[in-house]
Every structure is written in structure tokens, then in C-alpha cells.
């Protein structure tokens, strides 16, 4: 007679925790149960809830050992006595493991109610472990209520479930509830490393991290995957073989496509999608992987220590940091929003590849967003640059310069217009004599009048220079490159003339607008130096308006328009003179 071969145990069963100390990632549960046993405060009913493969049934068995061990109740079952061995082997008469999915009716619960009346055959407690208890029917739960509230002192119920919300509140209120958590990558990796050392399996830490990540927080799933990989690769496991089993080719496509999106290469995105499609990628699954990857990119940009939040390996974390190094948080958030907006569509569509291609094309062509803080900082820097340029020009020209609208000391004091007229003794440029017994009012006085009557028009008129006055005709010059020259010449001329007729008290006054000459030294006594200063300020304004940052602001803020560009010190003085604006 031949001897039957020894039974093979998969890793998940062979390395199942047998004592409280072996349980990973559930310290809050283990500590409470150990103290309960130590202080003899054993509840009559427990509910262990949490994701699959995190140790709920294993802890239930260990608790049964702690209660029924010959040296107990004890926090550390001996593992040697008859009761401990029988519970480990699953043959203990007084520890009943019931599948809630196949014993979910009222008849099974009635039978259970009858059996709990009898004392244990040899143990201290009768322990009923009902797995997937949420599968019981409503009638079965109702039949269990009274027994669960006041069971015999020799009975302990332990319910395990992955869906606590399906258990009636009347049941929950009669039990002590323990929430089991997902197990961290580090704890799963440490457990797999211990198993590999004990089994003589050679595998890299990177490979163990990949297996732990594939388990998605479940120790049992990770151990089952590890067992499968060892069956495929043998006791010497290469990283390439792990990639083949886990399908990490999909992950490489995700990283490559994310890089193409961030480099704004739409063509490369479509090429990679085509390669992945013919390599057998499931477009819907791949889309979710892409969403998860961009979530990690956002977290890496927002949270300094996101490595712990995202549960990734050090290698993956380094890759994430490298991809996000040159991209703003706002851009990454917008890219993730585009992906999330299409999630429902890609679940329902018959052409997920098309939806994915269109989403990636929009993402690749998205203009990078500049953080508002950076925009404000650049604008402040631009203001300082303009201010320093204006200050440099004020030192020239013997105190005469072209001021911006509203500068104090520019002939626009805060006094009524009549007082301004009385103070104006000579013309700003030509110094012509008074005609018909009236003193010819100054150009600066007129600008002060316009400032009080129409402040927006005043800011546009400010760079203007009085070239000549002949009877009822005034000729005003503006630099040809002035940003508002065309607006003044075509649209504001009549408004300026109306104000001039009122100020100069000349009903037939006509104002002509001309391009300012390069060297008007012979015109109205103005010096080339004075005009050069005016031109320098105009040039600085023109440069500011053409600055890429200003253009970017115009693109970002809808319906934005540029009214004027004023140096920093000028703006302060304007605000001081016009507090209500």
C-alpha cells in the first residue's frame, strides 16, 4: 500500500495567524480583546467588520482559543492543549463556524436557538462564528434578537461581515462592534518577506512591494498572489516574472501616457492608446488606473508627505515627484477634473477607447494654468520695475516731466477750477500773450479740469502735449505709439473739445489731435529732453501692456480690459486724491 502524499497548504492557510501577536495591522482590535480577556470582561456577542482578507475570521478563532484554552481564559493561548489544537484544525465540537450565506433562513436560526441551550461538551464556552452574517434574512435576524440579547452564560457569538450597513440596528446595538482596517503596504511587505525567508524564496523588495500593492490592503489576497507567483517562477523570482503575472505592463502605459499629457504631446498619447489597445488593455479598467495616477500626482503636489497617503513604493514615489516637478497644482487639478468628468460616460459607452482618446486630447491641449499667487507676484514685480523706471526719469529735465494722471504738483491741485484759472498766468508750452483782455489759461489747468469732470478721460489725456494755439484752434500732440492714440483721435476728440469749450469759455473751440514729433524743440518752447522723458514713460507703458503675463491675465479673466497703466507711486497718489474710487 502506498502512502498518500502530504497535503499541500496554500500560503494563506499555512501562515494564518494563530495567536494575537501574529495579527498584522489591527492593533486597536487586538489590544481591546486582550484586555477584555485579562480583566474577565468578555461580551456575549461581537461583530467584526471590515474589508476582505484583513483577519476577521482569524481573530475570531484566536479569541475562541483564548476563551477555551486549558490554561485560560488567557491572552496567549498555549497552542498545545487539546482545545487549541482542535480549534486550529477546525474540528472543535464547541466552536461552530457557520456560513451566513448558505444558512440564512429562519429554520437554521431556530435550530441554533435550540442547540445553544446545551452546555459545551468539553470546553469552557460554546463559540458560534457566523461568517458573512449580513446575508441572513430579515426573519432570521428577528428570530435571533432575543437569544442574542440574553444568551446563556456559556455562549459567545462572533459575527464577521464585510457590509455592516446591511445588519439591522437592533442587532448592532446588542453586540460589541470592531472595525478592521485595511493593512498597510509596509505591514504586508514585512509579512511576505518573513514568509519568503521561511520558505527559501529569493525575491526582491521591489517585487514584494508590487505584490503587496496588488493585494489592495488584504493580507490574504497578497499571500495568494505570492503563492501564484512562486508556482509560476519557482523559488527564484525575477521582477520581470512578477510584472508578467501582475500585468504591470498596464501601469507602464499609464505612466507613459501621463508623461505625454504633461508634455502636451497629444500625438504621443494617441499612439500609446493604440499600442495598449492592441496589447489587450481593457479601456475601462485602464481609464480608472489613469484616474488613480493623476490623483496621486495631485496629492504629491498638495501634500508634502503624500507617500503615506497614496500607499506607493519608494520607486513609484520618486517617479511621481519627477512628473510633477514642473507642473502647477492648478494644472494637475484641472487635468484630474477632465478625467473625472468622463467617468460616467466611459462606464456607459460602447466605445470606451474613443472617449479616452478625446479626454486625453483635451488634456494634452490644455494651456498650463498659472497659480494666482504667482500672477500677483509677477504683477508686483512688474509694478516695481515700472516704478523704478519712472523714478529714473524724474531726475532729468530740470524738474519738468510728463506725469501720469493725478500726480500732485502737476498743475492739478485740489481746488475749484476757477481758482486754477486764476493761477494760470501763461500757456504750458508757447507762453502766448492773453487775447481780448483774458489771460490764456494753462494746458495743465485744462487737464486738472478734465480730471475733475471725467477721470477716465483724464488718464488718457495726461500724456498729451499742447503744440500750438491759434485763435479758437488748439493742436494737441500724442506719441504715435501711445496705446490710446487711436481711441483719442477717433472716439474721444469730441468729448475733449466739449470740455475745452467749457473750460476756455470759447464756444467755437476746435481741438486737433496730431502725432507727437520726435524732436519738438522748436514747438512751443519744449525741449527735446522733456519730450524724451514723456516718450520714455509711454514706452514703459507700452512694454507693460505687451508683457506675456498681462496677456495671460487677459486670457484667464473673461471680459477683462486694460484702462491704463500707471506707475506704482503714481497709483498711490491717485488713490490718495480719489478715495472714493
What would the DSSP string read from start to end of 104-150? -SHHHHHHHHHHTTSPPSSSS-EEEEEETGGGS-HHHHHHHHHHHHS
3-state secondary structure of 178: strand
Q: How confident is the model at residue 302 (pLDDT cuts 50, 70, 90)?
A: confident
Distance of alpha carbon 118 from alpha carbon 123, whole angstroms: 12
Amino acid 397: pLDDT:
40
Q: How confident is the model at residue 198 (pLDDT cuts 50, 70, 90)?
A: very high
Beta strands, E only, 365-422: none
Q: Mean pLDDT across the stretch 220-241?
A: 90
In the block, cell 493623476 appears at 294
User: What is the rounded end-to-end Cα distance, in angstroms, of the chain?
Assistant: 106
Amino acid 541: pLDDT:
64
If you classify domain 250-364 with CATH, what class do you get? mainly alpha
Distance of alpha carbon 204 from alpha carbon 239, whole angstroms: 7
Distance of alpha carbon 27 from alpha carbon 73, whole angstroms: 20
Strands in 45-49's sheet, in edge-to-edge order, are 95-99, 126-131, 155-161, 45-49, 176-179
Q: Percent of the chain scored above 70 by pLDDT?
A: 75
Q: Mean pLDDT across the stretch 271-292?
A: 87
Q: Is the pLDDT of residue 487 over 80?
A: no
Measure Cα distances from 243 to 74, 190, 519, 532 in Å.
45, 20, 77, 71
Q: Which superfamily, per CATH, for 417-575? A: DnaA, N-terminal domain (3.30.300.180)
Q: Is the pLDDT of residue 92 over 70?
A: yes
Q: Grid coordinates representing 352?
A: 470606451
What's the full length of the chain, in residues? 581
Q: Grid coordinates representing 209?
A: 512591494
Distance of alpha carbon 475 from alpha carbon 524, whole angstroms: 11
Q: Mean pLDDT across the stretch 17-24?
A: 92
Amino acid 433: pLDDT:
41
Q: Is the pLDDT of residue 193 over 90?
A: yes
Mean residue pLDDT of the chain comes to 78
Among 35-39, 99-103, 233-237, 300-304, the minimum mean pLDDT is found in: 300-304
How do beta strands 510-515 and 155-161 pair? unpaired
Q: Mean pLDDT across the stretch 103-126?
A: 89
Among 129-138, 147-156, 463-472, the minimum mean pLDDT is found in: 463-472
On whether the CB atoms of residues 188 and 226 are closer than 8 A, the answer is: no
Q: Mean pLDDT across the stretch 364-390?
A: 71
Top mean-pLDDT range of 54-58, 315-319, 409-413: 54-58
Amino acid 51: pLDDT:
92
Q: How confident is the model at residue 217 (pLDDT cuts 50, 70, 90)?
A: confident
Q: Is the pLDDT of residue 47 over 90?
A: yes
If you classify domain 11-179 with CATH, what class do you get? alpha beta
Q: Mean pLDDT across the stretch 166-194?
A: 92
pLDDT digits (tens, 9 = 90+) for 348-357: 888 889 999 9
61/547: higher pLDDT: 61
Beta strands, E only, 393-549: 465-470, 473-478, 510-515
For residue 27, what is the DSSP state? H
Q: Mean pLDDT across the stretch 537-566?
A: 65
Q: How confident is the model at residue 393 (pLDDT cuts 50, 70, 90)?
A: very low
Q: Is the pLDDT of residue 578 over 70?
A: no
Please give the CATH topology (third level) of the domain spanning 185-246.
Helicase, Ruva Protein; domain 3 (1.10.8)
Burial of 255 (0-12, 13-18, 19+ CB in 10 A): middle
Closest CA to 322 of 278, 398, 262, 395: 262
Among 4-13, 169-178, 354-363, the minimum mean pLDDT is found in: 4-13
- Residue-range domain boundaries for the chain: 11-179, 185-246, 250-364, 417-575
Among 206-220, 254-268, 361-375, the minimum mean pLDDT is found in: 361-375
Distance of alpha carbon 130 from alpha carbon 127, whole angstroms: 10
Top mean-pLDDT range of 104-118, 425-439, 490-504: 104-118
Amino acid 386: pLDDT:
67
On whether the CB atoms of residues 97 and 124 are closer than 8 A, the answer is: no
Q: Mean pLDDT across the stretch 56-60?
A: 94
pLDDT digits (tens, 9 = 90+) for 401-433: 323 333 233 333 333 333 333 333 333 333 344
Amino acid 401: pLDDT:
32
Q: Is the pLDDT of residue 201 over 70?
A: yes
Distance of alpha carbon 389 from alpha carbon 317, whole angstroms: 46
Q: Mean pLDDT across the stretch 70-83?
A: 89
Amino acid at each position: 500500500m502506498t502512502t498518500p502524499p502530504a497535503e499541500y497548504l496554500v500560503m494563506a492557510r499555512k501562515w494564518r495567524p494563530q495567536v494575537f501577536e501574529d495579527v498584522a495591522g489591527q492593533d486597536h482590535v487586538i489590544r481591546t480583546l486582550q484586555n477584555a480577556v485579562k480583566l474577565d470582561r468578555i461580551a456575549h456577542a461581537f461583530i467584526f467588520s471590515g474589508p476582505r482578507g484583513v483577519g476577521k475570521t482569524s481573530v475570531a478563532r484566536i479569541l475562541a482559543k483564548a476563551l477555551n484554552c486549558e490554561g485560560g481564559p488567557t491572552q496567549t493561548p498555549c497552542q498545545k492543549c487539546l482545545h487549541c489544537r482542535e480549534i486550529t484544525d477546525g474540528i472543535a465540537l464547541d466552536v461552530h463556524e457557520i456560513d451566513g450565506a448558505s444558512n440564512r433562513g429562519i429554520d437554521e436560526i431556530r435550530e441554533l436557538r435550540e442547540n445553544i441551550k446545551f452546555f459545551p461538551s468539553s470546553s469552557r464556552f460554546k463559540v458560534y462564528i457566523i461568517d458573512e452574517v449580513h446575508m441572513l434574512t430579515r426573519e432570521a435576524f428577528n428570530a435571533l434578537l432575543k437569544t442574542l440579547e440574553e444568551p446563556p452564560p456559556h455562549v459567545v457569538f462572533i459575527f464577521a461581515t464585510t457590509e455592516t450597513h446591511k445588519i439591522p440596528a437592533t442587532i448592532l446595538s446588542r453586540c460589541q462592534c470592531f472595525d478592521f482596517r485595511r493593512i498597510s503596504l509596509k505591514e504586508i511587505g514585512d509579512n511576505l518577506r518573513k514568509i519568503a525567508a521561511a520558505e527559501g524564496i529569493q525575491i526582491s523588495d521591489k517585487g514584494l512591494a508590487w505584490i503587496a500593492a496588488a493585494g489592495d490592503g488584504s493580507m490574504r489576497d497578497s499571500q495568494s498572489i505570492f503563492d501564484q507567483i512562486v508556482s509560476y517562477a519557482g523559488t527564484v523570482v525575477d521582477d520581470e516574472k512578477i510584472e508578467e503575472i501582475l500585468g504591470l505592463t498596464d501601469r507602464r502605459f499609464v505612466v507613459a501616457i501621463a508623461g505625454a499629457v504633461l508634455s502636451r504631446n497629444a500625438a504621443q498619447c494617441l499612439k500609446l492608446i493604440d499600442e495598449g489597445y492592441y496589447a489587450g488593455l481593457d479601456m475601462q479598467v485602464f481609464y480608472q488606473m489613469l484616474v488613480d495616477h493623476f490623483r496621486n500626482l495631485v496629492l504629491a503636489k498638495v501634500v508634502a508627505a503624500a507617500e503615506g497617503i497614496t500607499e506607493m513604493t519608494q520607486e513609484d514615489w520618486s517617479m511621481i515627484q519627477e512628473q510633477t516637478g514642473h507642473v502647477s497644482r492648478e494644472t494637475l487639478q484641472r487635468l484630474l477634473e477632465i478625467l473625472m468628468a468622463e467617468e460616467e460616460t466611459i462606464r456607459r459607452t460602447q466605445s470606451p477607447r474613443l472617449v479616452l482618446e478625446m479626454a486625453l486630447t483635451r488634456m494634452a491641449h490644455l494651456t498650463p494654468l498659472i497659480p494666482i499667487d504667482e500672477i500677483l507676484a509677477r504683477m508686483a514685480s512688474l509694478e516695481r520695475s515700472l516704478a523704478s523706471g519712472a523714478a529714473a526719469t524724474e531726475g532729468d529735465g530740470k524738474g519738468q516731466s510728463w506725469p501720469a494722471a493725478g500726480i500732485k504738483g502737476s498743475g492739478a491741485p485740489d481746488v475749484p477750477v476757477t481758482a486754477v484759472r486764476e493761477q494760470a498766468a501763461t500757456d504750458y508750452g508757447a507762453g502766448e500773450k492773453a487775447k481780448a483782455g483774458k489771460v490764456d489759461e494753462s494746458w495743465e489747468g485744462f487737464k486738472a479740469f478734465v480730471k475733475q469732470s471725467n477721470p477716465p478721460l483724464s488718464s488718457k489725456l495726461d500724456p498729451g502735449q499742447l503744440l500750438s494755439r491759434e485763435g479758437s484752434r488748439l493742436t494737441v500732440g500724442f506719441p504715435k505709439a501711445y496705446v490710446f492714440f487711436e481711441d483719442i483721435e477717433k472716439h474721444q476728440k469730441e468729448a475733449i473739445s466739449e470740455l475745452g469749450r467749457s473750460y476756455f469759455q470759447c464756444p467755437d473751440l476746435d481741438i486737433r489731435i496730431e502725432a507727437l514729433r520726435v524732436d519738438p524743440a522748436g514747438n512751443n518752447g519744449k525741449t527735446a529732453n522733456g519730450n524724451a522723458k514723456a516718450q520714455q514713460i509711454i514706452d514703459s507703458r507700452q512694454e507693460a501692456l505687451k508683457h506675456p503675463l498681462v496677456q495671460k491675465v487677459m486670457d484667464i479673466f473673461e471680459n477683462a480690459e486694460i484702462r491704463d497703466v500707471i506707475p506704482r507711486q503714481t497709483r498711490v497718489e491717485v488713490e490718495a486724491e480719489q478715495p472714493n474710487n
